[in-house]
Amino acid sequence: MQPLNFLRAVCRLLIDKQKHQERQLAQTVPSWGKGAE
């Protein structure tokens, strides 16, 4: 495996992970907002 391809794969994994976390946050935040009110 070439270093460049490896770096690309790692970057893609990190980006997917971040998107997944953001999606989970987006789902939980509205419930917090309702609880605060």
CA distances from 8 to 18, 35, 36 (A): 15, 41, 41
Whole-number pLDDT of residue 6: 95
Return contacts of 5-8, CB within 8 angstroms, 24+ apart.
none
Collapsing DSSP to helix, strand or coil, 1 comes out as coil
Whole-number pLDDT of residue 2: 86
Whole-number pLDDT of residue 14: 97
Which pTM value belongs to this model?
A: 0.58
Whole-number pLDDT of residue 1: 63
Q: Where are the domains of the chain?
A: 1-37
Per residue in 1-37, pLDDT (tens digit) is 688 999 999 999 999 999 999 998 888 776 665 655 5
Whole-number pLDDT of residue 27: 82
